[in-house]
Chain A
């Protein structure tokens, strides 16, 4: 499968940009984000603040690296992994019927978000990560075959 490098770059910029955008509000308002983490009803009390402190920075740094291109394959892997975790957490909430404010684009307590829409968005982004992963692998393989 041949992929135009500009298309791949565009995907990297979009996903990286979304991750940076998402992370900033969470970094500025860690308390509000901690409440959202709590609302998922998935984590023990002792882990909630640690998750709220650490996760947004992983998002921010990985998102930035994905755009800049420095060690972006690893950043892509981390983002893909996080998205998979988000999809699992959101699906569990959906199945359990928990009404949470998904802390994806806003930490405002009043904003109720459609879980299904959020899951769909994350699946789209995971697909993007897979495309980036495949595209970044191909040139290396060619190099190895024909040194």
Chain B
């Protein structure tokens, strides 16, 4: 029995050492600590007050994270530029909804109708993301989604934000 226990510990210890070594040397290796959010409890889908199921495509936290992580979507930050600068979802583009005309020409050069677009803003007290996605759909971008949880949900789940270099 003692030998069995010793062998078991030996095999596991050996596997752990080999695993970390192989991971360190592998081109596909991953960090010891990845960027994940705590999903052990159910994450509710945040629903905006003016939500219209016929028009709006809402994303759960799960979907938003998955799209972000796999870089399958372009994230559009609908908040004011200074809010964006203070901290936004990494990789997101600043597209203040209030200053649509000023930004639209540049945004149009980046996005295509085939792209998945994820509009978000501050969170539950902000509907700019909703309005933006609706507007984009009208303009011929059918894959405009709303991540209504926004920055507040993102922070609540301890996910990283990116700070713009232009600030300070």
Interface residues of B (CB under 8 A from A): 4, 7-8, 10-12, 14-16, 18-20, 22-23, 26, 28-34, 36-40, 69, 158
Contacts and interface: CB of A to CB of B under 8 A. Distances in A.
Interface residues of A, number: 33
Interface string A13-29: 00000000000000111
Nearest to B37: A45
Dominant secondary structure at the A interface: helix
B42 to A, nearest CB: 8
Interface string A48-91: 11101110111011100100000101110110000000000000
A49 B40 contact: no
A50 B11 CA distance: 17
Contacts of B15: 54, 57-58, 60-62
Contacts of A74: 4, 7-8, 10-11
A50 B39 CA distance: 17
A35 B22 CA distance: 19
A38 interface: yes
A34 interface: yes
Interface of A: 27-31, 34-35, 38, 41-46, 48-50, 52-54, 56-58, 60-62, 65, 71, 73-75, 77-78
Contacts of B10: 71, 74
Contacts of B37: 45
B32 A30 contact: no
B33 A30 contact: no
B28 A75 contact: no
**8 residue pairs, one from A and one from B, having the closest CB atoms:** A74-B7, A57-B19, A45-B36, A49-B34, A58-B15, A74-B8, A71-B7, A57-B15
B18 A34 contact: no
Given A38-B39, A62-B15, A78-B11, A57 B22 contact: yes
Nearest to B18: A57
Given A49-B34, A54-B20, A58-B11, 20 more contacts: A27-B26, A29-B28, A30-B29, A30-B30, A34-B30, A34-B34, A38-B36, A38-B39, A45-B33, A48-B36, A49-B31, A54-B15, A56-B19, A58-B15, A58-B19, A61-B11, A61-B18, A71-B11, A73-B4, A77-B8
